[in-house]
Amino acid sequence: MTQPATETNQIKDRNNNVLSLAQVDAFQRNGYHFPLRALSTEQALAYRKRLETSESAVGGALRGSLRAKPHLLFTWANELIRLPKVIDAVEDILGPNLLAWSSSFFIKDAHDPSFVSWHQDSTYWGLSHPDVVTAWIALSVSEVENGAMRVIPGSHLKDQLPHQDTFAENNLLTRGQEVAVEVNTDDAVDIELQPGEFSLHHVRLVHGSDPNDSDQRRIGYAIRYIPTYVKQTVGPRDCATLVRGVDTYHHFDPEIVPKADMDPEAVAFHKRVTDESNQVLYRGTDKRNPK
């Protein structure tokens, strides 16, 4: 972490939330931690139902621009970025002042060929520090058979690696980006989760996932948390939602909370925000819109 370790340790002394110091150390060493529980099985099922109701309302899966920052469009997604158990765990790693910077769904239907190539999240996000933790919340079982996330332990310590864009059709990433160096998949760990459980991973951890070979739909919601001192360094002014503590830096504009699912003000705000963030995510290419 770029922020002095002593600051995190002092915070830990004051407020030991979810992770033990040994678990925080393991996260720093390995770049990930799982499983933790965010929701009961019943609560996870209820959120899955609300997601699937919204999918029906918009005429199908949350594709294209609807995949990015759905917490700006749907009340249930806005609740999911604020789950106390998730934020407690993130606070143990990143400290007490936290923004939810982004969120997106990683959904693979039964026998869906969608996959995620090996990559580091930090590659195109334009953020000033590698102090970004993703909480990946499972709203279904996520296991090897239906394309669970896989990670390479310790790979976050390698700094930023070169990536190449593929724009491969079934790749769930914006540019189909993949690390341009050899990945030793013998070392990969499968992040298997039950509904309501979540994993944490570091922004530079090399990770990916395979297609869904099963009859079960796989649903994950990835939420990206940053401390308030992080800045957007590329493109227009960015926005984020303060989910814990105070923001004395004001590097990000505050976000609007949807009053109802797809309310017109929320839809207009989401469109403006995702149009701007696409300029960052697709910079240097001729692409402007997600699949």
CB of 121 to Ni ion, least distance (A): 4
**Between 12 and 156, CB nearer to Ni ion:** 156
Q: Report strand pairing: 239-244 vs 253-254.
A: parallel
Q: How far apart are CA 178 and CA 268, in angstroms?
A: 32
**Between 39 and 191, CB nearer to Ni ion:** 191
CB of 208 to Ni ion, least distance (A): 8
**Between 83 and 132, CB nearer to Ni ion:** 132
The tokens of 282 are what?
A: 């697709």
CB of 119 to Ni ion, least distance (A): 6
CB of 24 to Ni ion, least distance (A): 21
**Between 38 and 203, CB nearer to Ni ion:** 203
**Between 97 and 146, CB nearer to Ni ion:** 146
**DSSP codes, the chain:** --S-HHHHHHHHHH---SS-HHHHHHHHHHSEEEEEESS-HHHHHHHHHHHHHHHHHHTSS--GGGGB-GGGT-HHHHHHTT-HHHHHHHHHHH-S-EEEEEEEEEEE-TT---BEEEE-GGGGT-BSSS--EEEEEESS-B-GGGT-EEE-TTGGGG-PPPEE----TTB-SSS--EESS---GGG-EE--B-TTEEEEEETT--EEE----SSS-EEEEEEEEEETT--B-SSSPPEEEEEES--SS--SEEPPPPSSTT-HHHHHHHHHHHHHHHHHHTTTSS--S--
**Between 121 and 192, CB nearer to Ni ion:** 121
CB of 14 to Ni ion, least distance (A): 31
CA torsion sign for 152, 157, 163, 168 is positive
The tokens of 261 are what?
A: 């699912």
* CB-based closest residue to Ni ion: 121
**Between 121 and 197, CB nearer to Ni ion:** 121
CB of 182 to Ni ion, least distance (A): 19
The torsion angles phi and psi of 168, rounded to 5 degrees, stand at -60, 140
CB of 268 to Ni ion, least distance (A): 28
**Between 136 and 252, CB nearer to Ni ion:** 136
Binding-site ranges for Ni ion (CB under 5 A): 121
CB of 220 to Ni ion, least distance (A): 11
